[in-house]
Amino acid sequence: MPQHGFVRVAAANPLLRLADVTANLRRTIAMLDLAESRGVGVLVFPEMGLTGYTCNDLFFQKTLQDGAVEGLLHLANATAQQFGGLALVGLPLVVDEQHFNCAAVLGGGEILGIIPKTYLPNYKEFYDARFFATAATVISRTVRLGGKDVPFGTDLLFPCTNVENLTVGVEICEDLWVPVPPSSLQCFHGATVLANLSASNETIGKAGYRRQLVGNQSARCIAGYVYASSGVGESTQDLVFGGHCLIAENGSLLSESQRFQRDDVLIASDIDLDRLRVNRLLTTSFSDAVLEPGLKREFRRIPFTIAERRSGSRLLREIEAHPFVPAGQEQLRERCDEIFHTQVAGLARRLEHIGKPPIAIGVSGGLDSTLALLVLCKTLDSLGVGRDRIQALTMPGFGTTGRTRGNAIALMNALGVTFREIDIRPMCFAEMNALGHSPFGINLQGMSLDALVERLKTLPAEHRSDLTFENIQARARTTLLMNTAFVIGTGDLSELALGWCTYNADHMSMYNPNVSIPKTLVKFLVRWAAENEFEGKPRATLLDIVDTEISPELLPSSADGKAQSTESTIGPYELHDFFLFHFLRYGCPPSKILFLAEQAKFDHEYDRGTIKKWLGMFLRRFFNSQFKRSCLPDGPKVGSVSLSPRGDWRMPSDAQAALWLQELEEAG
């Protein structure tokens, strides 16, 4: 059975012999065996796969017509023993004295339904209307095959009885190339996996267009799309066929065959039915389309069952370990350029609106403030405003290291902004005294700041916990910034998800360009900027910032000089960003997120126990921190995941995580 909402689909292209049904049947059955061994649940063959598409006037020969039907019956019997899924095969079929180009749907030893081709190409090299009738001329709703009445028509859908959310819709070749393909109507009525039996010949540039067509239709239909086209055995006289097979899901190409192969071909991948379901629920305009006149249809539903499958350890699709960070150098370059332009455009509009005032930003020498400062500089450049309008403050505290302080100063110098260094320790020391707070149990009465600093150096590891001590520093920095100028925030999406920010401190600003950018993407963007926008000393500084361990630097360093580590406390950001993406973007339950994380290849290896530990941490912190997200400052939405309470995410601050944690625990 499919795991966690996945169903395995395949497109097959057996090496064909024109008009030789016996040979084609033999190779088709062999492909059934191969698909069964790979755990395939839905298998699609090319158009006219039992006879060949280019038989032309031979289609009028009763010998070929009868041979195709006999081959179909043999193939249906084979699905009873050799293939436990749904198989779709093409053949010519005479019904009511009309000749149709058909797709037969087979499963469990039965012919479940026959779908005739709706649109017949009759231009240039195509002459379908010479040989076949269009589906519009269908008279009977059933056809007699093997002594049984089989549903016949374009109004057939095939829901699976034991795989939730799996319903198969079928169209044939040219059906996809028209303005409103049959699959567009099928998806409105529940089809989640669309199959196309095709015989698309090759011409220059056609493969690319075909690829776009399949991908775009899967996106418009929010569906999986399995496309199987005829191969080189079909090539004859004036035409060449390449056997182009494609599998797409909601606009993403999951698998593609190499064309012009001179042997049997089978490609397989796993369609995420849960993801499709969530996308359809979120896209409210999807179901609105059925209100359009002429789009509402009545479909007959023919149920089928997929046999039990062995539980495989690996999916036949790549699970991105870093879903927010694009793969491929050209895509990376384009994505970075787009992100920067989005951030700059949003911030520029805000600054224009309020009269381009002086701007304050805190620069710590860490990733987030570095990215925000780079965006701010580019924004002022685009507005024709001098960078000296930027009031950049670096504000070392009790946990600041020489490395981050040095990088902050070097960066501000390199970028030509106006900057100041303000030691916040005297302010914090005075506030702790005023509050009567004893940091780490140290009585401050009669103690000097210098004495406290020396005492903190000897603090035992087990006593290095004091939230008030940390929050006082964070709020001192925000107070200085707020009293300087219009404040640009620096916190990122990952910190908001985890609540890893101090309320009304780094949590607050007057505009935050980083608000919808996760930590893994922030790190990548800073590296990209270093490698593409700067050279010399600024580049070295940026790369050193990227390589610095992530830390709030609010607690004093340990006796061995080791700084406070964020990821040691709350877990690796690459895991949390993975959890965030699948939890928020697709509404995945914890058990599925755990399963997907085990499939992904992270920078570091994590065992199941470790992933489960940090996933539990993510869920608890996410639910407990909604109150911080309910009052966020403005900032641009950059990607598909955002936590803005005005845009993408509305959640009660007192919602409980119990159900999600229970589901995670039951995952084992």
Residue 546 in domain? yes
Query: What pLDDT is attached to residue 650?
Result: 94
Q: Report the alpha-carbon distance of residue 585 to residue 33 in Å, rounded.
A: 37
Query: What pLDDT is attached to residue 643?
Result: 96
What angle, rounded to 10 degrees, do the helices at 519-532 and 573-580 form? 120
Residue 320 in domain? no
Radius of gyration for the alpha carbons in the chain, expressed in angstroms and rounded: 31
Coil, strand or helix at 646? coil
* CATH number of residue 407's parent domain: 3.40.50.620
Q: Report the alpha-carbon distance of residue 471 to residue 506 in Å, rounded.
A: 10
Q: Report the alpha-carbon distance of residue 407 to residue 668 in Å, rounded.
A: 45
Q: Report the alpha-carbon distance of residue 149 to residue 113 in Å, rounded.
A: 9
pTM of the model: 0.93
Query: What pLDDT is attached to residue 215?
Result: 98
Query: What pLDDT is attached to residue 310?
Result: 65
Query: What pLDDT is attached to residue 1?
Result: 40
Q: Report the alpha-carbon distance of residue 565 to residue 261 in Å, rounded.
A: 54
Does 527 lie in the same domain as 415? yes
Residue 309 in domain? no
* Phi, psi dihedrals of residue 229, rounded to the nearest 5°: -120, 155
- Looking at the DSSP bridge assignments, the partners of residue 111 are 106
Residue 662: CB atoms within 10 A of its CB come to: 11
Does 140 lie in the same domain as 48? yes
Query: What pLDDT is attached to residue 2?
Result: 44
Residue 318 in domain? no
Sites in the chain below the pLDDT cut of 70: 1-2, 310-313, 462-463
Structure tokens that stand for 456 in this block: 């903190």
Contact 575, 614 (CB under 8 A): yes
Does 594 lie in the same domain as 463? yes
Query: What pLDDT is attached to residue 615?
Result: 98
Query: What pLDDT is attached to residue 617?
Result: 98
Residue 530 in domain? yes
Query: What pLDDT is attached to residue 600?
Result: 96
> Which positions are annotated as active-site residues?
47, 117, 173
Does 199 lie in the same domain as 344? no
Range of the domain at 413: 329-666
* CATH number of residue 127's parent domain: 3.60.110.10
Q: Report the alpha-carbon distance of residue 493 to residue 324 in Å, rounded.
A: 11
Give the count of domains, the chain. 2
Does 335 lie in the same domain as 279? no
Q: Report the alpha-carbon distance of residue 183 to residue 181 in Å, rounded.
A: 5
Q: Report the alpha-carbon distance of residue 617 to residue 567 in Å, rounded.
A: 12
Does 360 lie in the same domain as 221? no
CA torsion sign, 575 to 577 to 582 to 583? positive
Structure tokens that stand for 402 in this block: 């020489």
Measured between its terminal Cα atoms, the distance across the chain in Å is 19
Does 359 lie in the same domain as 251? no
